[in-house]
Amino acid sequence: MSVAYRFQKTGDFVIEDYNRARAWSSFFPGIAGLYGIPLWVFYVNRGQCIASAGIRTKDEAMMEYLPANKAYQLTPTQGFRTFIKVRRGKKQIFYEPFSPVHAAGAAEGISNRLTIRPYELELTEVNTVLGLKTEVLYFCLPGEPYAALVRCLTVTNISPQPQGLVVLDGLAALVPYGVNNFFLKEMSRTIEAWMTVENIGSGIPLYKLSTDPRDTAQVAFVRGAHFYMGFEEGKTCRSNKVIADPQAIFGQETDLIRPSRFEESAAFAYPARQAATNKMACAFSFLRWHLKKAQFSSHMSLLGHVFDVGDVKKYGLEKIDASFIRAKRRENRILVEDITDRIFTASGKPVLDQYARQTYLDNVLRGGLPVTLGLDGKKKTVYVFSRKHGDLERDYNRFVVTATYFSEGEGNYRDVNQNRRSDVFFNPAVGDQNVRDFLNLIQLDGYNPLIYKGRRHVIHPDDFVAGGLADCFHEKDAKKLAHILSKPFTVGEVFQYLSENRIRSTCSRDELIRRILSLSSSCEEALFGEGYWSDHWTYNTDLLESFYALYPERMNHLLFEDRTFTYFDSPACVKPRSERYCVQHGEVRQFHAVYVDEEKNQLIQKRHDHKNKVRTQNGDGEVLKTTLIDKLVCLITNKLATLDPYGAGVEMEADKPNWYDALNGLPALLGSSLSETFEIKRLILFLKRIFEELHIPDGQTVQLVAEVGGFMGQIRDFLESTLSDEEYWDESHAAQESYRARVRRGVAGDAPKIVTVAELKAFFDLALRKINAGIAKGCDKATGQVRTYFSYTALHHETHTDAAGRHRVVVRDFRQRRLPMFLEGYVHALRTEHFKSAEIHRAVKKSPLWDKKLRMYKVNASLQKESYEIGRARAFTPGWLENESIWLHMEYKYLLELLKNGLIEEFYKSASEVLVCFQRPQRYGRSILENSSFMASSAHVDPSVHGQGFVARLSGSTAEFIHMWLLVSIGQRPFFVDNAGELSLRMEPMLSRDLFTAKVRQDTCCDIDGRRRDIQTPVSAYTFLFLGRTIVTYLNPKKRDTFGKNGVRVARIRLYEGEKVVLETGGCVVRAPFAAQVRDGRISKIEAELG
């Protein structure tokens, strides 16, 4: 048998002979439902696949967290194993299914395959010599107050004769609860002294440390435990015999390669005594089966965690049986499919439809799933299932999968922001929430905290009683809960508190959470983290554009009238130039540019609520409330004051680079990026378009925070002057440093600065003049090439000593150095230089960024001539990680911009070669339904890895693909306000002819309200779920593209409520009041005829 890859129209992806295929790693979603406790589970295509598992973080592993390269080596021995002894007359033949040993051809007549689904993993091995078929199924247990990985083993006799089997099935090494990652990696021998296994004879052994091993005076006991249990059909765990002592199976074979005791014993029996303490224990079930021809036997097991050893009895784990597992398998499948139904697509390319589902699921894992709950009129949208990403190939990340109901996790500002870009189109109830959350985290200095912790809720004690929530509890318990809910909380923490304190509610969980959310107020939370990236703010423009494309009539209120926006208050400040510049080996460098202001930190910590919101009275007054337009003007002004000495790029002045993290050394080299200059222009152009399209009168006044207004006035004066670029740099930076000093503690609270819209437009026009001149300096007019990054050399500098005796460096003249080409610069250029889009695309195809062998786009040109000082990108092997690789996120960004610029034919040509689902799996080396962070390019020294995908799934590419999906399915800005001031819907899909069906399709889909619907897509049609509730079908009898000279367009539209047609109209526009009905989800189906 040879390695083969196969996509099945059921959505499965199959790898034959997977042990010999290219090595890769992936993971289960870590989603257990709203009322379940998630696990993190990572798997590889070696042995029985599961490599690492645990709860929350690496520090609470059940199976040791292993970086991918070690997981490929160790999973076949340390992971799940199945040992079988088959009786042949007087002989017993030993056999280990799925062992890589016979994958190398050591055993004839053996074939195996791995089947990957979004919600489960299935292994199958057929041994024709022994006449056995072995199947293993894995999935995570949903909807329970404890976490568990379910494993189902089935062995079928495919020989013509009856067979007697002795089987050991389980886990070779189970990490006890309480052993953190440090102990596993650095003190794995010493920590064995604390290891215990309790209750082996009960059928549910508990693996834990006796006490907390930390060297402290106060000894703490370990309350929680990991557990293992197993049972056969018709039985429970009480009849299961578990072996926890590895010596009883492996003897002295401590490498765990061969179970010598089991293999060599003529009559292996369950050990009368086990010594399972003071060592890393195992967890094997001992089974005896007699199978007739075609008969099978199954064994089901759970590897899990309980927060308290008493939970085993409390939750009735000993009663779990096969029917429970079958029901949970179905529940798990429906749980994941209901999430992916939000991007339901029925096209002529089933692989693309399934890829869209997987991509949406992975997008949820970083950005979260928006779920709207609460009582009518007071509903709130909460994000569930999100986490900071991490996996076997991202071994550097300290990921967190929150082990509570709702599992609301934290993430990095940029990651969460970009992955929520399109959420409003999948759940319109999201509304302006993401705009509000992420813009509220923008500071007065134009930066933002790194760690986004999501929203937390608060209920005032009076509202707790008046709202009827107290009626759900006993009076004593109600008082306790009222106190807890008066402080910021997440939904998961509420249920955790109720469980830990054994508080019972008289209403259901759903009713309780609806009441809690309806009564609560909520606010975003964040932490500084480390440094300030120069690009994070740019993703807010995406959120604004998405909101405007769905709620155009609400944009005026959001921008100008809503005075509930706030500024994030951080103790981390950027030093002035003279303090962050230093001289190293005769060269000026920029180090340690951000410091924590201890006085400010103490001020923040003394506050009782809303600690991280800017206050008036220089930090001692009330929370400052302002408008969105004020925040955007503040942001634009700050960025205009951060332009580099040539006026080209936005400086990396705060210890961190921009999107391209691997240029970590560039901030020290006084580096800057043209990408953010394009983004200033983009935001300004967006606001100017809003002013025009919403007919905002020039005389309309805008209130700016006094300090912001004064700062803007200074920058405007500099823009109006005849200053040289370097003089502008010096003056604008001085003004910014003075402004930052004034707002260090907060704002004074003086009367706002009043400006008119006309004055804002004039300021924007001056800014555009400056920006366009800077952009021209970053582009080569002759070739059309765009240079993204710059470093600067200080030609002249002076060193002074201040009154405190500290050295201060002042720089006078600079020389710019352009780094080689990066795809990123072209992406941002396409966002603003629309009239040059075709020219830009041609320039990219002619540049070193185009990988001719793979026909893909590299993330950067060669860095071989650059100094190692620019950062780790220079140190990486070319073609690998962020150095000349095919970095999927940026490549997808580029595809998206082709589409947005109307280069639709060019988009489809590139998409057919670039999209993961259209890759040759033999080259890609893993499921073509799953994204990778990067593919090794042809620049790599090893040709065998060219085009292979590495670092699984949790990539920003998911956000870009979803955006592409929206554009091709419905068009740009589907909702708009017409000349009569009414809301309208325009349907302008950008679909190629091969996306329309070749035969009738029957599907089912669940909308965001939980309604299941049967959907029939006829021949030459394309169907998708729009806004979470409306099924849209395009009928294309001519089967032509919907773009280009000969393309078809929407010619007739029918709207349905149920089966009733409520509107039939010609053209591609749905007018009022029906457009609002579509947006509100009252229209169940739309049929659009193309002609």
| Residue 175, pLDDT score | 98
CA angle 302, 305, 309 (to 5 degrees): 115
| Residue 804, pLDDT score | 75
Tokens of 741: 């000093």
Classify residue 1063 by burial, with Cβ atoms within 10 Å: 0-12, 13-18, 19+. middle
Residue 297 binned pLDDT confidence (cut-offs 50, 70, 90): very high
pLDDT tens by residue, 1022-1039: 999 999 999 999 999 999
Lowest pLDDT segment from 562-566, 640-644, 777-781: 777-781
Mean pLDDT score, 476-491: 95
Beta 50-54 vs 40-44: how paired, if at all? antiparallel
Beta carbons of 1057 and 1084 less than 8 angstroms apart: yes
Which segment, 594-608, 775-789, 805-819, is predicted with the most confidence on average?
594-608
% helix / strand / coil in the chain, to the nearest 5? 35, 25, 40
Beta carbons of 777 and 632 less than 8 angstroms apart: no
| Residue 105, pLDDT score | 47
pLDDT tens by residue, 739-751: 999 999 999 999 9
pLDDT tens by residue, 1068-1090: 999 999 999 999 999 999 999 99
**In 3D, which of 418, 352, 400, 390 has the Cα closest to residue 951?**
390
* pLDDT, mean over the chain: 96
State residue 134 phi and psi, 5-degree precision: -115, 130
Beta carbons of 24 and 5 less than 8 angstroms apart: no
Mean pLDDT score, 783-812: 89
Tokens of 997: 């069906």
**In 3D, which of 22, 137, 129 has the Cα closest to residue 72?**
22
pLDDT tens by residue, 368-389: 999 999 888 889 999 999 988 8
Give me the residues paired with residue 814 across strands.
794
Beta carbons of 635 and 441 less than 8 angstroms apart: no
Tokens 């370097």 sit on residue: 726
DSSP 615-626: BSGGGTSSBP-B
Tokens of 948: 């292979």
Give me the residues paired with residue 1017 across strands.
1001
With a cut of 50, say whether residue 106 has pLDDT above it.
no
pLDDT tens by residue, 234-249: 999 988 999 999 999 9
State which amino acid sits at residue 113.
Answer: R
d(CA 965, CA 780): 33
d(CA 529, CA 398): 13
Mean pLDDT score, 214-240: 93
**In 3D, which of 368, 495, 467, 332 has the Cα closest to residue 481?**
495
Q: The domain 4-337: what is its CATH number?
A: 2.70.98.40
Beta carbons of 679 and 687 less than 8 angstroms apart: no
| Residue 107, pLDDT score | 63
With a cut of 80, say whether residue 102 has pLDDT above it.
no
Beta carbons of 672 and 792 less than 8 angstroms apart: yes
Tokens of 99: 């062992």
Alpha-helical segments (H) within 302-410:
311-314, 322-340, 350-367
Collect all residues with Cβ–Cβ distance below 8 Å to 313 and sequence separation of at least 6: none
Tokens 């600690």 sit on residue: 611
Mean pLDDT score, 545-549: 99
Reported pTM: 0.97
Domain regions of the chain by residue span: 4-337, 460-519, 550-815, 820-961, 974-1090
d(CA 381, CA 219): 42
3-state secondary structure of 1024: strand
d(CA 609, CA 620): 13
Beta carbons of 694 and 561 less than 8 angstroms apart: no
Residue 101 binned pLDDT confidence (cut-offs 50, 70, 90): confident
d(CA 828, CA 436): 24
With a cut of 90, say whether residue 925 has pLDDT above it.
yes
d(CA 917, CA 6): 12
| Residue 103, pLDDT score | 53
pLDDT tens by residue, 662-720: 999 999 999 999 999 999 999 999 999 999 999 999 999 999 999 999 999 999 999 99
Contacts 24+ apart (CB under 8 A), 619-626: 619/569, 619/745, 619/746, 620/745, 620/746, 621/746, 621/749, 623/566, 624/566, 624/567, 624/705, 624/746, 624/747, 624/749, 625/563, 625/564, 625/565, 625/566, 626/563, 626/565, 626/566, 626/567, 626/703, 626/705
d(CA 51, CA 944): 25
Share of the chain above pLDDT 90, in %: 94
With a cut of 70, say whether residue 104 has pLDDT above it.
no
Tokens 């939970």 sit on residue: 311
State which amino acid sits at residue 80.
Answer: F
In this structure, what is the dihedral angle of CA atoms 346, 347, 350, 354, given to the nearest 10 degrees? -50
Q: Quick one: how far is CA 639 from the chain centroid?
A: 27
How many residues in the chain? 1091
pLDDT tens by residue, 127-164: 999 999 999 999 999 999 999 999 999 999 999 999 99
Tokens 């959505």 sit on residue: 11
Mean pLDDT score, 481-503: 95
CA angle 872, 873, 875 (to 5 degrees): 60
Beta carbons of 673 and 652 less than 8 angstroms apart: yes
Mean pLDDT score, 747-772: 98
